[in-house]
């Protein structure tokens, strides 16, 4: 685990945290594949009706996978908090030094956003958040679901979902089609949160809850009416 030095996190430390986040997400996906191979989630009993270990699954393998999933989720949640805090500190410092950064042609803020854009959580400065129209808004995020693990929060406005954006989005069924066709694969998503654009990586999959995402969204036109 990368431990930030001092109260202000440096760019290199944020990038190392992003790398560690990617590794944890890969481990989590591997553990979930074990459950999927046994056709079981996180909550089903490992005993049969007579109280004996079930013969249709590898009980030891499932129990170990469940334990590792819980531990990895906790590690990932803590790491996400460190990353967000580090980014806030970094960009706050850049705003204070904005005059010097802008005179250099390409600010270090923009460079960092480009470096970590595909890492899962980052602030993109490629275009003002206000100019990127959202297509839907998240109104529910289930605990432990794929959406929560990807970093979604209630109130997030989805700007891009895979190939969908304001120019080609028509209805929520388009999102459902992408989710169905890309189960167990990474979907690149960009959301707007507190006037910041954040790129996330979402992996639809079978889990212990309903659906493949563990979240619910509403189209923006239904919210604005």
DSSP of the chain: -----SSS--HHHHHHHHHHHHHHHHHHHHHHHHHHHTT--SSS-SB-TTSSBPSSS-HHHHHHHHHHHHHHHHHHHHHHHHHHHHHHHHHHHHHHTHHHHHTTSS-HHHHHHHHHTTSS-----SS-GGGS--SEEEEEE-TTSHHHHHT--TT-EEEEETTB-TTT---THHHHHHHHHTTTS-EEEEEEETTEEEEEEE-----SSSSSSSEEEEEHHHHH-
- Whole-structure pTM value: 0.51
Give the model confidence (pLDDT) of 66-110 as tens digits. Answer: 999 889 888 888 887 787 777 777 777 766 766 444 444 444 444
- Give the pLDDT score at 25: 82
pLDDT value for 123 = 43
pLDDT at position 104 is 44
Could you report the per-residue pLDDT of 30-65, keeping only the tens digit for each?
888 898 889 888 888 999 999 999 999 999 999 999
- Residue 153: pLDDT over 90: yes
pLDDT number for residue 94: 67
């Amino acid at each position: 685990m990368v431990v930030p030095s001092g109260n202000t996190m440096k760019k290199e430390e944020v990038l190392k945290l992003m790398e560690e986040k990617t590794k944890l997400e890969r481990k989590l996906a591997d553990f979930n594949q074990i459950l999927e191979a046994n056709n079981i989630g996180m909550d089903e009993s490992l005993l049969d009706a007579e109280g004996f270990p079930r013969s249709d699954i590898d009980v030891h393998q499932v129990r170990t996978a469940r334990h590792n999933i819980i531990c990895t989720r906790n590690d990932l949640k803590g790491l996400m908090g460190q990353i967000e805090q580090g980014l806030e500190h970094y960009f706050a410092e850049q705003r204070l030094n904005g005059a010097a950064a802008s005179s250099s042609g390409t600010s270090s803020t923009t460079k960092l956003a480009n470096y970590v854009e595909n890492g899962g959580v980052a602030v993109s400065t490629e275009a003002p958040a206000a100019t990127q129209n959202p297509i839907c808004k998240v109104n529910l995020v289930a605990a432990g679901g794929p959406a929560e693990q990807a970093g979604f929060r209630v109130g997030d406005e989805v700007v891009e979902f895979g190939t969908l954006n304001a120019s080609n989005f028509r209805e929520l069924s388009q999102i459902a089609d992408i989710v169905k066709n890309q189960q167990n694969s990474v979907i690149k998503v960009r959301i707007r949160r507190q006037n910041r654009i954040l790129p996330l990586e979402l992996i639809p999959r079978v889990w212990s809850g309903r659906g493949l995402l563990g979240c619910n969204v509403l189209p923006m036109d239904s919210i604005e009416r």
